[in-house]
Amino acid sequence: MNFLQAILVPVSLLYGIGVSIRNLCFDLKILPDTKYKKPVISVGNLCAGGAGKTPQVEYLIKLLLENNFKVAVLSRGYKRKTKGFLHAGPMTSIEELGDEAWQIKNKFDNLIVAVDEKRTRGISTLLEMHDDIDVILLDDAYQHRSVKPGLSILLTDFHHLFIKDFMLPSGRLREPAWNYKRADIIIVTKTDRVFSPITQRGLNEEIKPRPYQELHFSYIKYGPFISLTGEESPDNKKSFSSILLVAGIANLYPLEFHLKNYCTHLDTLCFKDHHWYTPKDGQMIRDYFQNTVARNKIIVTTEKDAARLRKSDIFEFIKDLPVYYIPICTMIHEPGKSLFDKRILDYVRRDK
């Protein structure tokens, strides 16, 4: 703990007390929670951002669609420019829906996507509009105690485990670490692709899952470079003199580590999570890239950022530059993957 974190500890204690009182009110049924007849799966975390919720939701979507379930996704639409319930349609913009929900909507066919900051209202409205929904996935809903999910999945970053963190603002925890006990499944995300059983056993001893909880481990699988500006995508085995990484996400370190395999020199322009790019940002990206002295250079961004950079007033600054994005997906280490998939499918089939 550094000096700044130390002086914020009293504020964190007060915040933790407030959150604990709220949770106790739900536990004692002083505050009501709603359980739905349809299967509801919640994906969330204890920390503020960066645990890999969107790729995990996409994993569930793919698994459920492949098994012929009708799936709906509900999120709050973080940093969207609308309020209340919004059902995503073919012409719904990223500004209206939020970048994560928009990305999910445009990635999968036959998927229902909606946003609402009030999850109970969002679920009720979805069920009124689509009474044949088989399962509802809640993105970033671990702290939404007004909804009682049938299955709760808690994510924690391998490099920032919740058991080693502190309450906001001295740390990143939204609620005290002991609230992990509400989860049915815990997934340690962003592990190494080659992950030893010894490390897995060590994490099991540290996290201490309850007898009713499953503990799994996942890693990020990176796709090939995809052109944002219509250029031919480069060979993924090719090495570059310089890569400029432009991103507004919570945790950049896994992507930075990955990109170092493809270049001699890596620069990063880091923006806040879910940053809405402005023309000034577009000009800064262009200037930074053009001032980089290298013959073989490219710009790389994330899939989320790519959607925001495509806005017409930003795209004007980068349309003639070699800009690429990297799609990602989450993969669960075996033998846990088979057990996890079975748990999800069995739950949906039973409650359906």
Mind listing the domains of the chain with CATH numbers?
31-220+331-351 (3.40.50.300), 226-326 (3.40.50)
Residue 241: per-residue pLDDT: 94
Among left, alpha and beta (phi > 0; psi -120 to 50; other), residue 171 is beta
Cα atoms in the 13 Å half-sphere on the side-chain side of 38: 21
- According to DSSP, the residues that pair with 263 across neighbouring strands are 240
Provide DSSP, 204-262. HHHH---TT-EEEEEEEEE---EESSSPPPPPTT--EEEEEEEE--S--HHHHHHHTTS
Residue 1: per-residue pLDDT: 66
Residue 144: per-residue pLDDT: 95
Residue 291: per-residue pLDDT: 94
Residue 50: per-residue pLDDT: 81
CA distances from 238 to 94, 242, 290, 327 (A): 32, 12, 21, 18
Ranges of the chain with pLDDT below 70:
1, 236, 352
**Contact by Cβ (8 Å): 149, 138:** yes
- According to DSSP, the residues that pair with 154 across neighbouring strands are 44, 186
**Residue 287 dihedral angles phi and psi, to the nearest 5°:** -65, -45
Residue 251: per-residue pLDDT: 84
Exposed e or buried b per residue across 138-169, where buried means at least 16 C-beta atoms within 10 angstroms of its C-beta: bbbbbebbebbbbbbbbbbbbebbbeebbbbe
Residue 309: per-residue pLDDT: 93
Please tell me whether residue 100 adopts helix, strand or coil conformation: helix
Residue 332: per-residue pLDDT: 97
Residue 232: per-residue pLDDT: 76
